[in-house]
Amino acid sequence: MATKTSSNPVAEHDIPEVEVHPPTAVLPEKRVARLTVAERQERGRALREKVPRSSHSYWVEAPDRTDPIALLESQAKTRLPDLVPIRYSRMRVSPFTFFRGSAIVMAHDLARTPITGIRTQLCGDCHLSNFGAYASPERTLMFDINDFDETLPGPWEWDMKRLAASFTVAGRGNGFTAAECREAVMTVVRSYREHMAEFAEMRDIEIWYSHVTAQNLLERLSTKQQKKQLQRTITKTESRGSLQAFDKMTEIVDGRHVIASDPPLLMRIPVEDQMEELRKLIHAYQQTLRDDYRHLLQHYQFEDLARKVVGVGSVGTRCFIALMDGRDEFDPLFLQVKEAEASVLESHLPKSAYRNQGERVVAGQRLMQAASDIFLGWIRGPEGRDFYFRQLRDMKGSAEIETMTPMTMNFYASICGWALARAHARTGDPIEISAYLGVSERFDLAIASFAEAYADQTERDHKAFLAAIKSGRIVAASSGQ
The full set of domain ranges for the chain reads 41-239+399-471, 240-391
Predicted local confidence at residue 18, as pLDDT: 41
Question: Cβ distance 340 to 387 under 8 Å?
Answer: yes
Question: Cβ distance 98 to 166 under 8 Å?
Answer: no
Count of beta carbons in the 10 Å neighbourhood of residue 296:
15
Identify which of 469, 437, 448 has the alpha carbon closest to the alpha carbon of residue 87.
469
Look at the alpha carbons of 231, 235, 240, 244 in this order and tell me if their dihedral is positive or negative: negative
* Angle, CA 165 vertex, CA 161 and CA 166 arms, to 5°: 115
* Angle, CA 402 vertex, CA 340 and CA 460 arms, to 5°: 70
Which residues sit opposite 391 in a β-bridge? Answer: 335
Count of beta carbons in the 10 Å neighbourhood of residue 227:
15
**How far is residue 194's CA from residue 110's CA, in Å, rounded to a whole number?**
24
Question: Cβ distance 321 to 305 under 8 Å?
Answer: yes
Residue 238, classed as helix, strand or coil, is: helix
Q: What is the pLDDT of residues 195-241, one digit of tens each?
A: 999 999 999 999 999 999 988 888 888 788 888 888 888 888 888 87
Host H or E run for residue 387: strand 386-391
Cα 148 to Cα 97, 234, 369, distances in angstroms: 18, 23, 10
Amino acid at 353: A
Predicted local confidence at residue 24, as pLDDT: 44
- For the chain, the 3-state helix, strand and coil shares in percent, each to the nearest 5, are 50, 15, 35
Length of the chain equals: 481
**How far is residue 323's CA from residue 335's CA, in Å, rounded to a whole number?**
7
Which residues of the chain have a pLDDT value below 50?
A: 1-12, 15-27
**How far is residue 142's CA from residue 215's CA, in Å, rounded to a whole number?**
9
**How far is residue 182's CA from residue 168's CA, in Å, rounded to a whole number?**
7
Predicted local confidence at residue 200, as pLDDT: 98
Amino acid at 372: S
Amino acid at 201: E
Predicted local confidence at residue 236, as pLDDT: 83
Question: Cβ distance 127 to 163 under 8 Å?
Answer: yes
Q: Which are the contacts of 330, defined by CB distance < 8 A and separation ≥ 6?
A: 246
Predicted local confidence at residue 31, as pLDDT: 63
Q: How far is CA 174 from the centre of its chain?
A: 23
